[in-house]
């Protein structure tokens, strides 16, 4: 399904960040991974593919900005914290509900993907909405993905959905780079007591049974939530914190896996040279 | 949009439970509200309208059950804890991803709604998926809704989406009965320290600005999560707990609002009496 797709112009690796279930911290993880890859020296973009509930404008601290266009056809991404980003949130009012059926969503996602003038990206992180529906299908049918990262919280009911998300990528031959477990443990800011509010060990279980690496585990930490909601994700707000280090380790692992798998699609085709005889 | 719709057979009040955003505890709240209405003496059904990630079979402790049919056309709901329920989870394998575009989702939701033999319900609680897409449109275009309840966590980024969900119901003239704030405060099980992991006051703010009541506030409590994930939601597992009481208060408030607004649609039409002269 993926094999015959044309690579995106000016983008070397498209990485989908998905979960199946909503509210597991997918957008927070996606933006921190993007900033971590940028901190490693990569040129990075974030495509917010959640048409119904875009979060990236707020998480990148650029709420209210509007994308511009030089030619009336294509969009210029917004720059924030050194990464490039597009989102439905730059096209419509933040509070307006998109009461849309699937075909409208497909059209919007297609435009965000193909009509953005990405500026020479090493990595484009795609923040997917929950589910395994129109947006996921559109992306996997139209864009060659270098890999997918699955986010889950540790409890069984989230794992159920995460497993579905993972199986979807396998079905369409997108390599799953690994699993990130989010909201792993809560550490009381007063007494240090650790409480597994959303269960324990689920991310590891999912990674093991699927034969993919566990890229990282992030705690349920009020700071991570507040940093992202405030437009200064932890990787840039507190670069020396344990959480930022965990994001950077996860990003490095994912990048290393990509580098091992990477096939330059252009090298498959013979170069055509027109010689003047 | 809603005015001309035929009432559902054998169902007096259809209540949609929505959120906009995923992972805010919508399914957990929906099932606890349903069980609370049943505890008040109502005859209650739960329609799990989340086709991509059905949670109700697990939350009601009936995973692996399959719906039967007497006539090969309609389905018999599954009974659990005294409530009737249908879900995509009773029709397909729990781990199978539904990789479907919108029209398939619409068809599945329509079948769950119209081909279930509900047995004389006072309340049908509809557990909606995240977003404002096909499922929400199908429901509001095909079923007369008595009201909607919006679930949100307190932080700004969840409120954004909850506000969109609320506006959608207003747009299609479904009365919003109120807002329930979930994961309000975390209370450390060791030292009792209260921490607003997901922020504070958001539910109240949303209710105030929208002119609808705040029906309740539920804490971020590992027990509520474990009870629901284990198939014994708190309202039945720990009926005397503070959380169960909060759910019952919210359910009573919602029911009272419905009773005040209720219009017997049948009374609008003149009764046709055939008299033998």
Only one residue has tokens 């990236």, namely A56
Q: What is the mean pLDDT of residues B25-51?
A: 97
Residue B267: pLDDT band (50, 70, 90) is very low
Q: What is the pLDDT of residue B236?
A: 98
**Phi-psi sector, B112: left (phi>0), alpha (psi -120 to 50), beta:** alpha
Pick from A116, A123, A136: nearest CA to A50: A136
Report yes or no: B210 at the A interface, CB cutoff 8 Å.
no
Interface of B with A in 162-201 (CB under 8 A): 163-165, 167-168, 171, 186, 188-191, 193, 195-199
In this prediction, residue B3 has a pLDDT band, given cuts at 50, 70 and 90, of confident
pLDDT at B277 over 50: no
Q: What are the average pLDDT values for consecutive 10-residue runs of chain A, which has 277 residues?
A: 84 95 95 98 98 96 93 95 97 90 94 96 97 94 96 92 95 95 92 92 95 96 94 98 97 94 52 57
In this structure, are residues A254 and A15 in contact, taking their beta carbons and an 8 Å threshold? Answer: yes
Contact B160 A133 (CB under 8 A): no
Q: Which ranges constitute the DSSP H helices of chain A?
A: 26-39, 56-59, 102-114, 134-142, 156-171, 202-210, 222-229, 234-237, 242-261
Q: Please count the CA atoms within 13 angstroms of the CA of B268 that sit on its side-chain side.
A: 8
State residue A268's pLDDT score. 46
Q: Per the structure block, which two tokens stand in for B130?
A: 């995240």
Contact between A36 and A216 under an 8 Å Cβ cutoff? The reply is no
* CA distances from residue B11 to B47, B88, B118, B258 in whole angstroms, order as listed: 12, 20, 7, 14
Chain-centre distance of CA B15, in angstroms? 6
A53/B130 touch (CB, cutoff 8 Å), yes or no? yes
Q: Does B20 touch chain A (CB under 8 A)?
A: yes
Q: Which of A1, A21, A23 to mutate to test the interface with B (most CBs of B within 10 A)?
A: A23
**Type and span of the H or E element at B248:** helix B242-261
> Residue A221's Cα: distance from chain center in Å?
20
Size of interface A-B (CB pairs under 8 A): 187
Secondary structure of residue A45 in the 3-state scheme: strand
Q: Which residues of B touch A136 (CB under 8 A)?
A: 99
The beta-carbon neighbor of A21 closest among B20, B22, B197 is B22
B213–A contact, CB cutoff 8 A: no
Tell whether A227 is within 8 A of chain B (Cβ).
no
Is the ipTM higher than 0.85? The answer is yes
CB within 8 Å: A58 and B156 = yes
Distance from CA of B175 to the nearest CA of A (A): 17
Tell me what percent of the residues of chain B surpass a pLDDT of 90.
85
> Residue A105 to residues A101, A156, B161: CA-CA distances in angstroms?
7, 30, 17
Measure the CA–CA gap between B268 and B277, rounded to whole angstroms: 26
Inter-chain touch A189–B198, beta carbons under 8 Å: no
The rounded percent of chain B whose pLDDT value lies above 70 is: 94
Q: How far is it, in rounded angstroms, from Cα A198 to Cα A115? A: 39
Give the contacts of A211 (CB within 8 A, at least 6 positions apart): none
Check CB contact of A239 with chain B, cutoff 8 Å. no
Residue B266 pLDDT: 47
Spatial neighbors of A7 by CB under 8 A, at least 6 apart, are A144, A265, A266
Instruction: Say yes or no for a CB contact (<8 Å) between A102 and B134.
Output: yes
Contacts 24+ apart (CB under 8 A), A60-69: A60/A31, A60/A85, A60/A231, A60/A233, A61/A230, A61/A231, A61/A232, A62/A90, A62/A231, A63/A89, A63/A94, A63/A231, A64/A94, A65/A90, A66/A90, A66/A91, A67/A91
Residues of A in contact with B106 (CB under 8 A): 101
Residues of chain B with Cβ-Cβ distance to A98 below 8 Å are 132, 164
Q: How much is the average pLDDT of B252-262?
A: 89
| Distance of alpha carbon A68 from alpha carbon B114, whole angstroms | 46
| The model's pTM | 0.91
Nearest to B156 among A105, A195, A229 (CB): A229
Nearest chain A residue to B24 by CA distance is: A23
pLDDT in tens, B76-134: 999 999 999 999 999 998 888 999 999 999 999 999 999 999 999 999 999 999 999 99
**For residue range B169-220, what is the model confidence (pLDDT) as tens digits?**
999 999 999 999 999 999 898 999 999 999 989 999 999 999 999 999 999 9
The nearest alpha carbon in chain A to B98 belongs to: A132
pLDDT value for A75: 96
């Amino acid at each position: 399904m993926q094999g015959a797709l044309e690579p995106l112009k000016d983008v070397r690796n498209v990485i989908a960040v998905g979960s199946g279930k909503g509210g597991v911290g997918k957008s927070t993880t996606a933006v921190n991974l993007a900033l971590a890859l940028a901190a490693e020296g990569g040129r990075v973009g974030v495509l917010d593919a959640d048409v119904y509930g875009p979060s990236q404008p707020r998480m990148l601290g650029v709420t209210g900005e509007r994308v511009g266009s030089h030619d009336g056809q294509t969009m210029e991404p917004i720059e924030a914290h050194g990464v490039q980003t597009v989102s439905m949130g730059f096209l419509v009012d933040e509070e307006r509900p998109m009461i849309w059926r699937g075909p409208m969503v497909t059209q919007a996602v297609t435009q965000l993907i193909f009509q953005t003038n990405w500026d020479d990206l090493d990595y484009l992180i795609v923040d997917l909405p929950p589910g395994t529906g129109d947006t996921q299908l559109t992306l996997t049918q139209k864009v060659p993905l270098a890999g997918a990262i699955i986010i889950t919280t540790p409890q069984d009911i989230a794992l159920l959905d995460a497993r579905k998300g993972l199986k979807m990528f396998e079905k369409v031959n997108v390599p799953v780079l690994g699993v990130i477990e989010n909201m792993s443990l809560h550490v009381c800011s007063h007494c240090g007591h650790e409480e597994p509010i959303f269960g324990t060990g689920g991310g590891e279980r999912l990674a093991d049974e699927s034969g993919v690496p566990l890229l990282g585990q992030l705690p349920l930490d009020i700071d991570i939530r507040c940093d992202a909601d405030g437009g200064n994700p932890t990787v840039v707000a507190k670069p020396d914190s344990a959480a930022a280090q965990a994001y950077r380790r996860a990003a490095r692992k994912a990048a290393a896996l990509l580098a091992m798998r990477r096939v330059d699609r252009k090298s498959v085709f013979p170069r055509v040279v027109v010689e003047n005889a």
